[in-house]
Chain A
Amino acid sequence: MLKEYRSIISISGPLLLVEGVEGAKYEELVEIRLDDGSIRNGRVLEVDRDHALVQVFEGTSGIDLENTRVRFMGRGAHMYLSPDILGKVFTGLGKPKTENDRIIAEKSLDINGSPINPYARDYPNEFIQTGISTIDGLNTLVRGQKLPVFSGSGLPHNRIAAQIARQSAVLGKKEEFAVVFVAIGITFEESQYFINDFKKTGAINRSVLVLNLADDPAIERIATPRVGLTCAEYLAFEKDMHVLVILTDMTNYCEALKEVSAARKEIPGRRGYPGYLYTDLATIYERAGRIKGRKGSITQIPILTMPEDDKTHPIPDLTGYITEGQIILSRSLHKKRISPPVDVLPSLSRLKDKGIGEGKTREDHADTFNQLYAAYARGKEVQELAVILGEAALTDIDKIYYKFAEDFENQYISQGEYENRTIEETLDLGWRLLSVFPRAELKRVRDEFLDKYLARFKKDEDNQEGPGA
């Protein structure tokens, strides 16, 4: 029988200090019963002799010192699971949202998970075609990768994430997939956008929704991504599914972490965020991947809004150090009405090299994407130069770069929300854009590919118009 304590001695922010406690464990789950009979959840942050420091997920309003009873549950926070979780909606703490969302559990797992043994990992190298040129061609996503979208307020990150969820496919394969959608402190409208999109495409039956909306308790957000990832691990590694996890918005998660840290009066690291923010984020992001001998995989697309579009802010900065690349959205492209406004130059997929090339995408992929990058970077420089000097002052070759950068933005980066380009189309489009350069400028491409492809597109140009032109 679990003991109940009525010995709360202090309440500050989301934290309770309980005294006279026997045998409380670190990270233990706690139930708090208020005077009115309602129950809240918490977890033990620290035990010190007979004192236990408890973090309350749903907030401390209404809790008093005299009548509130605290019960230590003798175990960590768990998520109850069965294949029926597909199509269901859960709260940020992993409880069924409505009666309809109840399941008969097959097993329960600790939401904190355990680190995957690096030796047990299988390298992610299966190309995922998202149908978005800037991702497939330049920042290739592979199964088991964690590729965040760095966005800013007012930018269409949700549209990209929904488009990826809608269009993602592995070439030549039909396999079981699932989407775990984790809403962390986003608004009702934003979450409804995803849900409607999933409904429209029928993906809703293959989805697990874990929702902590903006008006839900803030501290609960610390548990929310972990609940979602526990579902994902169950589906991927026990039920052999390929799971795409969308976490939005990680900035709200970090804010919740900061709130708890501040309440504990911990020494802050940069900009008031706790010093362990990196480690804490890693325990979330590193739960993506593939495991040797298991069929399933977890691919993560965390979305975060950068405060003031500042990439050096601790949240995007530390995320970038953990994830395998980043898709950065650009406000200036968005203003130019280029959509999706992917800022190509600072975006990156670290795992692309293993997912592209012969047998995966096409032999010329690596060389062309290097060339496109280099050419676009030079084109942007030339454009800056032209602002100062005027276009007329540019050398002949720079004029080609100038034009290339414009065409690249309008034809390659820009594409419709429902336009699903195959990788062949994306690669050919790249060649078509590059074909305006004299051959000697294309230094990043091997001779054999220049022979094979360049001639084809130089000819093409005379006969037909490029797409979008």
Chain B
Amino acid sequence: MEKVGRIVRVAGPLVVAEKMGGSRMFDVVQVSEMHLMGEIIEFKGDLASIQVYEETGGIGVGEPVYPEGEPLTVELGPGLLGSIYDGIQRPLDAIYENIGDYITRGVSAAALDREKKWDFMPLVKEGGRVEAGDIIGMVQETELIKHYIMTPHGISGIIKKIGQGQFTVEDIIAVVDTAKGEAGISMIQKWPVRKARPYRQKYNPDTPLFTGQRVIDMFFPLARGGTACVPGPFGSGKTVIQHQLAKWVDAEVIIYIGCGERGNEMTDVLMEFPELVDPKSGVPLMRRTVLIANTSNMPVAAREASVYTGITMAEYFRDMGYSVALMADSTSRWAEAMREISGRLEEMPGEEGYPAYLGARLASFYERAGVVKCLSSADERTGALSVIGAVSPPGGDLSDPVVQATLRVVKVFWSLEANLAYSRHFPAISWLNSYSLYNDVIRESITANVSEDYFDLQAEAMRLLEKESELEEIVRLVGIDALSGPDRVVMLTSRMLREDFLHQNAFHDIDTYSSIEKQHKMIDTIIYFYNRALDHLRMGANIRDIEEMGVRDRIARMKYVPKEEINKIDDIKKDIDSQFAAMIGEKS
């Protein structure tokens, strides 16, 4: 007979049950006859504290708790892409079809469609030897992604039989002769979410991960396999940035976690992604995306689990050798979920009521990112997992414990500022406070593949913008006329950099994505203008004339040049030359 526990206490999402000896920490249980899913997070004697992933209203003392004897797992296999799940991998579309508009309690549905048949192509021969992680076959899951079926962990041996053709995810596609006897392999695997999936070796990131966003790619670049965070007060555009990255980032698979955020935002993604096409392949973006939506009004414990569910899926695709990007919006809501559960457990709080292990949990989450040599005995494939977390500090205050704990682990910091957002400068990433620690590691790759002068241009532009912020103080005190000619050229060029380069309209058809080539041409043109202006100032040109040059209008409209015509940007330099020449001509 199966062991059954008994509830002795219910306080919000926390339930305490007795007679729970025999279960382990983080085992999944089913609470009451409604079969609400929960997870054991504390033991005291045979009393287990359980965080319940669903609302606990109506649950009382004496009701049963059924241990499942295994930790919280996700199902991995064909059918993940294009799906939308809640924090514990229940498919929201299937729940909608079966239950209706609201998420009621105790519903369960298979994460992967059990009926659908996939066309399985074997990639190993019968009689061959396989180890855990070895690819045995492939399913063309979407136009974009070949879903490789890997030998599950714990299985190694000789392939005795392998099928080809139409299978459901549960059908046995291969039989392996192992030391312990025969083992059947289906296309579905389970993996405990709180445990990182293994790999052979981790490498340092060394290639850039372009996003089509100018301020990011040119100033604060992300590396493939790297980590970044986007903190900012509400209304500063965190979610728009996360959406932009999910749309345009140069990764093969996207995992988007809506963690404790707005329901309508997830709807936005759901409606928009199937219509947007990938700039490279022309296939709808949804075909490479998995969405995890645990909105703010959904149960708080499932929100805590949602980031783990997401990152486990991301690791699974990484293990196939893909470059995966994961966006978590927002990690603050995840931390708040931890805080709420910790409070109910009556743990001694750390800063701002957050649990003392906040920093450790955040660090181990971000540490699951990286470039790895995938687990395999047969090939040398590498995969990458890049993680971008939004942080929502109260009042935009960066001393918030979640921001501080995050900054200790991530390498890229895109600081969003309310003042920029108020003047509708989007993306509102501050060019003075943000940083990227990847500049050095990706230097070789960028100078080889993008351009030799990328870092020179970046440094020059940054220097101008920093100089501008100093000069602004002076202007504020004594007026622009008090500045010297060269300083006024700095002010002018910096304004161009801000308005014509850094400012990028996510809702404009063309401006929403800039290729790195286009970005390079744009910034190159602006810096060219700056140098020519300085030259001509020395030759006696009037600063007021420079400020009113007609070519400025062409520079301002560079961002709207469609990608087929980006060579036209080069022509602007000729315009700059001829207009300066005319200016000097008039003088003499």
Given known pairs A269-B353, A351-B264, the reply for A345 and B422 (CB within 8 Å) is yes
Task: Verify A278–B296 contact, CB threshold 8 A.
Answer: yes
Question: Count of B residues near A, CB < 8 Å?
Answer: 79
Q: CB-CB contacts of B1-13 with A at 8 A, as 1s and 0s?
A: 0000000111110
Task: Give Cα A91 to B104, complex, Å.
Answer: 28
Number of A-B contacts (CB under 8 A): 219
Task: Find B349's partner among A28, A117, A121, A267 (CB 8 Å cutoff).
Answer: A267
Residue of B with least CB distance to A372: B424
* B87 to A: closest C-beta gap in Å: 11
Compute how far the CA of A390 lies from the CA of B57 in the bound complex, rounded to whole angstroms. 64
Residues of chain B contacted by A394 (CB below 8 angstroms): 479
B264 touching A123, Cβ below 8 Å: yes
Nearest CB of chain A from residue B130's CB, rounded to whole Å: 38
| A25 vs B507: C-alpha distance when bound (angstroms) | 49
- Do the beta carbons of A286 and B93 come within 8 Å of each other? no
Stretch of B213-221, B391-399, B439-447 lying at the A interface:
B391-399
Interface readout for B252-267 with A: 1 if CB under 8 Å, 0 if not? Answer: 0000001010111011
> In the complex, which residues 46-88 of chain B have their Cβ closer than 8 Å to any Cβ of chain A?
55-62, 84
**In the assembled complex, how far is the CB of residue B578 from the closest CB belonging to chain A, in whole angstroms?**
18
Contact A117 B103 (CB under 8 A): yes
- Mark the stretch among B120-128, B142-150, B332-340, B369-377 that contacts chain A: B332-340
Asked whether, in the complex, the Cβ of B101 is within 8 Å of the Cβ of A270, the reply is: no
A35 sits at the interface (CB 8 A): no
With an 8 A cutoff between CB atoms, is A104 at the interface? no
Closest residue to A278 on the B side, CB-wise? B336
**Is residue A326 within 8 Å, beta carbon to beta carbon, of the partner chain?**
yes
Chain B residues positioned under 8 Å from A312 (CB to CB): 233, 394-397
For B9, the chain A residues whose CB sits under 8 A away are 46-49
> Out of B60, B394, B418, which one reaches A26, CB within 8 Å?
B60
Q: Is A275 engaged at the interface, CB distance under 8 Å to the other chain?
A: yes
Judged by a CB distance under 8 angstroms, whether A1 is at the interface is no
Query: In the complex, which residues 530-554 of chain B have their Cβ closer than 8 Å to any Cβ of chain A?
Result: 552-553
* B234 within 8 Å of A (CB atoms): yes
Taking a contact as CB atoms under 8 Å apart, the answer to whether A28 and B58 are in contact is yes
Chain B nearest CB from A25 CB (Å) reads: 4
Tell whether, in the assembled complex, residue B95 and residue A378 are in contact, meaning their CB atoms are under 8 Å apart: no
Contacts of B336 in A (CB 8 A): 275-276, 278-279
Binds B, one of A195-203, A243-251, A314-322: A314-322
Is A25 a contact of B343 with CB atoms below 8 Å?
Answer: no
Determine whether the beta carbon of A119 is less than 8 Å from that of B8: no
CA distance A283 to B303 in the complex (A): 14
Least distance between B243 CB and chain A CB atoms (Å):
11
In Å, the complex CA distance between A263 and B425 comes to 45
Kindly provide the distance from the CB of A468 to the nearest chain B CB, expressed in whole angstroms: 24
Cα of A285 to Cα of B296 in the assembled complex, Å: 10
Contact with A along B537-574 (1 / 0, CB 8 A): 00000000000000011001100100000000000000
A-contacting residues, B325-351, CB 8 Å = 333, 336-337, 339-340, 343, 349
Would B264 and A47 count as touching, CB distance under 8 A? no
Q: Which residues of B contact A326 (CB under 8 A)?
A: 234-235
Q: Is the pair A23, B62 in contact by a Cβ cutoff of 8 Å?
A: yes
Q: In the complex, which of the residues A119, A287, A446 contacts B92, with contact meaning CB atoms closer than 8 Å?
A: A119
For residue A415, give the distance in angstroms from its CB to the closest CB of chain B: 22
Instruction: Give the residue name and chain of the B residue nearest to A264 (CB).
Output: B11
B480 to chain A: closest residue by CB: A395
B58 touches A121 (CB 8 A): no
A115-B295 in contact given A120-B96, A312-B396 (Cβ < 8 Å)? yes
Residue on A nearest B339 in the bound complex, by CB: A275
Residue with the greatest number of chain A CB neighbours at <10 A, chosen from B61, B293, B507: B61
B349 and A393 contacting across the interface, CB-CB below 8 Å: no
Complex partner residue of B552 from A279, A348, A440, CB under 8 angstroms = A440
Instruction: Scan residues 376-396 of chain A and give those whose CB is less than 8 A from a CB of chain B.
Output: 377-378, 385, 388-389, 393-395
Interface hub of B56, B392, B395 (most chain A Cβ within 10 A)? B395
C-alpha spacing A353/B61, complex, angstroms: 50
CA distance A118 to B266 in the complex (A): 7
A113 and B16 CA atoms in complex are apart in Å by 25
A406 at the interface (CB under 8 A from B): no
Considering only CB atoms, which chain B residue lies closest to A112 in the complex?
A: B57
Contacts of A350 on B, CB cut-off 8 Å? 235
A144 interface residue per 8 A CB criterion: yes
Rounded to whole angstroms, the CA-CA distance of A285 and B505 in the bound complex is 29
Contact B353 A115 (CB under 8 A): no
Q: How far is the CA of A268 from the CA of B262 in the complex (A)?
A: 24
Which residues of B have CB within 8 Å of A186?
none
CA distance A279 to B333 in the complex (A): 9
Q: Inside 8 A of B201's CB, which chain A residues have their CB? A: none
Interface string of B217-232 (1 = CB under 8 A from A): 0000000000000000
Let me know if A289 is at the binding interface, CB within 8 A.
Answer: yes
Residues of A within 8 A of B62 (CB): 23
Are A353 and B507 neighbours in the complex by a CB distance under 8 Å?
yes
CB-CB < 8 A to B235: which residues of A?
320, 325-326, 346, 348, 350
Enumerate chain A residues within 8 angstroms of B95, measured Cβ to Cβ: 117, 119
**B297 to A119, Cβ gap below 8 A?**
no
Q: Mark A1-30, 1 if CB is under 8 A from B, else 0.
A: 000000000000000000000011111100
Q: Which residues of B contact A (CB under 8 A)?
A: 8-12, 16, 55-62, 84, 92-93, 95-96, 99-104, 233-235, 258, 260, 262-264, 266-268, 270-271, 293, 295-298, 300, 333, 336-337, 339-340, 343, 349, 352-353, 392, 394-397, 418, 421-424, 475-481, 499-500, 505, 507, 552-553, 556-557, 560
Residues of chain A at the chain B interface (Cβ within 8 Å): 23-28, 45-50, 76, 112-124, 144-145, 237, 266-270, 275-276, 278-279, 282-283, 285-287, 289, 291-292, 294, 311-314, 317-318, 320-322, 324-326, 345-346, 348, 350-351, 353-354, 366, 370, 373-374, 377-378, 385, 388-389, 393-395, 440, 443-444, 446-447
Q: List 4 A-B pairs, minimum CB-CB distance, nearest first.
A: A312-B395, A282-B296, A27-B57, A377-B423
17 sample A-B contacts, Cβ–Cβ < 8 Å, listed by A number:
A23-B62, A47-B60, A112-B55, A115-B298, A117-B103, A123-B267, A266-B343, A268-B353, A275-B339, A282-B296, A292-B101, A312-B233, A314-B394, A325-B235, A385-B479, A388-B477, A440-B553
